Structure 1
């Protein structure tokens, strides 16, 4: 593998879909995600990619975004033609009632 790059993940926003939680969750008072904080940053390198940042990242969120991180670590375009900068992507975790929105940035050497 050609692990040339690093990737920065930034937590942009935590959201809470209270109406959906009320209708569908066993515990509708759970509230927004308690794992991440807005503005929190993570640096992903070849050394910590395979360990979900040494266990510091939510496994469900990692499952949703890790393939984009992997592409960026390889030097690939994260969102060619979709974002203004092909090295940047805005994405989110797969929790439908309290999704966390992330910015993924490829950091070139």
Structure 2
């Protein structure tokens, strides 16, 4: 069985009152790294090992310029987002349960990055496909 993990940006939040109170840049605004609808595909197959490359080049769909999106061909994933999602991506790529007992489906997870003033919310899905000859 081959395992991939699809990551989709399903929402972005902004808490301007928290930015005003705590951030050095009081007008930082929403996260510039991701856009709602962005999709990424992580694989560990042969020469492809997106996990160990920090997700560089995993972007498969965006409405923005791919060169400006984290995970695109030129930008690795944001360190705060990667810290939040990487453990689930690794589990999924190994064929493991992403979040058994918490989510409706054990191969899915909804999580967000660690930025408390402008979090990005991701849906992660483990995709299982038979390998040739199975």
After TM superposition, the score normalised by the length of structure 1 is 0.93
Q: Please name the residue that 1:83 is paired with.
A: 103
Measure, in 2, the Cα distance between the counterparts of 1:89 and 1:19. Answer: 29
Specify which structure has the higher proportion of helix. 1
Measure, in 2, the Cα distance between the counterparts of 1:12 and 1:54. Answer: 20
Measure, in 1, the Cα distance between the counterparts of 2:34 and 2:11. Answer: 9
- Please say which of residues 49-58 and 10-19 is displaced more in the overlay: 49-58
Q: Please name the residue that 1:43 is paired with.
A: 41
Q: Please name the residue that 1:15 is paired with.
A: 13
Higher RCO (Cα < 8 Å, 6 or more apart): 1
Unpaired runs of at least 5, structure 2? 58-70, 72-76, 130-134
- Please say which of residues 65-74 and 45-54 is displaced more in the overlay: 45-54
Q: Please name the residue that 1:61 is paired with.
A: 81
Specify which structure has the higher proportion of strand. 2
Instruction: Give the 4+ runs in structure 1 shifted more than 4 A.
Output: none
Q: Please name the residue that 1:99 is paired with.
A: 119
Bigger-Rg structure (1/2): 2
Unpaired runs of at least 5, structure 1? none
After TM superposition, the score normalised by the length of structure 2 is 0.76
